[in-house]
Amino acid sequence: MSDSLYKRLYSIENLDLAWTRLKTAQNVQYKNYYRSLFLAYEMSKTENLAKLSERIKGKSYKPSAIERFYLPKSTGLSRPISFLYMDDMIVYQAYANLLAEKFSEKRKNVEGINVFSNIINRKRDKELFFFNKWQEGYADFRSAIKKYFRSRNKWVGHFDIAAYYDTISHTALSRQISSRNSYQDFRSLFENSLKEW
């Protein structure tokens, strides 16, 4: 018998929300690579999501390998761009739906204070948009900088850690979901997915 978080992962409600949030995500440049696939998937969305749900429920779903290429940045570094298969993108967003809900209250304490990007959308339109618009976070960041400057602070440290996400421990992340042995099915698939992606 599957654990409760695993059941929520493959629920049609969660997968449908994941699909909706993928379609309405603001990363237009990335989504342009998938434009025709989004249209094709949408035509049989109900059937596609039902099949994906059954595969996860029956434990026959396996995350696929990614395709990755690197875009040069002006700093001389490269930005990795990863392509996932459509079902994998939906599962990835389905994980994000559940984890954002689980950690929302903890994260609220730093949002708009020391964290200004990728703020979870808690408004009425949260079914459509996973994150607030980045412009809102940037405006809050600028306001905070001005406030500190008016308080006689003359220096600002702004950090962008190269390859930050690549340095996050998957084990530590998984333990945040549950330090006990609960959610074993969810954690197992989650860890396997992160290894592959």
| Spatial distance between the Cα atoms of 40 and 5, rounded to a whole number of angstroms | 30
pLDDT at 125 (0 to 100): 67
**Which of 14, 104, 112 has its CA nearest to residue 56?**
14
pLDDT at 124 (0 to 100): 65
Calculate the alpha carbon distances from 89 to 19, 20, 63, 80 in Å: 9, 12, 10, 16
pLDDT at 98 (0 to 100): 93
φ, ψ dihedrals at 101, nearest 5°: -65, -45
Partner residues linked to 67 by β-bridges:
83
Q: In this structure, what token pair is assigned to residue 19?
A: 């699909």
Q: In this structure, what token pair is assigned to residue 151?
A: 């308080």
Q: What angle do CA 16, 20, 21 make, to 5 degrees?
A: 115
pLDDT at 45 (0 to 100): 97
Check: CB of residue 23 under 8 Å from CB of residue 40: no
pLDDT-flagged residues of the chain (< 50): none
| Spatial distance between the Cα atoms of 128 and 106, rounded to a whole number of angstroms | 23
